[in-house]
Amino acid sequence: MYIINAPDFKVEVALIFYHTLNRAMQQTANLEKLQDTLGYRFENSDLLLRALVHRSFAYENQDVSADNETLEFLGDSVLGLAISHLLIDLFPGYDEGELSRLRSSIVNERELAQIALGINLGDFLLLGKGEELSGGRQKPSLLANGIEAVLAAVYLDGGLDSAILLVRKIFHGYLEQREEDHLLKALDKDYKTQLQEITQAKLKLTPIYLLEAEEGPDHDKTFFIRVAIGDKMLAHGFGKSKKEAQQEAARNAIAEIEKDPGLLQLDVD
């Protein structure tokens, strides 16, 4: 017969209760912080919590009943409708074809991931241990899916008007950073082309992309790239292909140049 030691059992139960309570308090604090960032208060905060649950976390935590994939599916449609409203308001002079091109340039994984990074969404995602260790909080696919899931949660909680207001908040400043007259032209170009045009105009030089490292098995590699002008390093980037990593490095370089134009002043011996 196995005899339970009462004091030890009480300690174990207390520890389980403590960790459960601590996890619940941490989740509540994170939800409050994210709602402050979004500028939207949920009537049903469980919707927001579900929007942050990646399938890897749900798999590893049997007490979690659902992940955010269904919300991602709904959020894709919500985003398309909301961004259409926003673009019509921002660019009343654009015709249907121009608006469609503009929407396609914005509503894609790369752009959505940048929006997610801008609000630090990755910090709030609930990931499994493996996904966490593989850099999931910075993965463009997870970030883009997370934005869509959060938008779906807002839509279910507060309706389409609330979703449109959120899209207006998190996308409007992003669009304002670009000159309206050249918005389509800029978005239609890839970032390597944009960076090359900047460096050619300022320095008559072409950016150089260098492979720094490769990580992961052959079927799931991550490539790390740095981009430089002459001997000056401008930025780093990573991706699941060399092309994706180069694009990310170019994008980051453009952002750095916008913040500090002095980066294009090369040292002269």
Q: What is the dihedral of CA 198, 200, 203, 206, to 10 degrees?
A: 100
Selecting among 60, 76, 98, 109, the annotated active-site residue is 76
Q: How far is the C-alpha of 237 from the C-alpha of 113, rounded, in Å?
A: 14
The region, left, alpha or beta by phi > 0 then psi within -120 to 50, assigned to residue 268 is beta
Q: How far is the C-alpha of 28 from the C-alpha of 22, rounded, in Å?
A: 10
Selecting among 72, 131, 148, 248, the annotated active-site residue is 148
Any catalytic annotation for residue 76?
A: yes
Active site residues: 76, 148
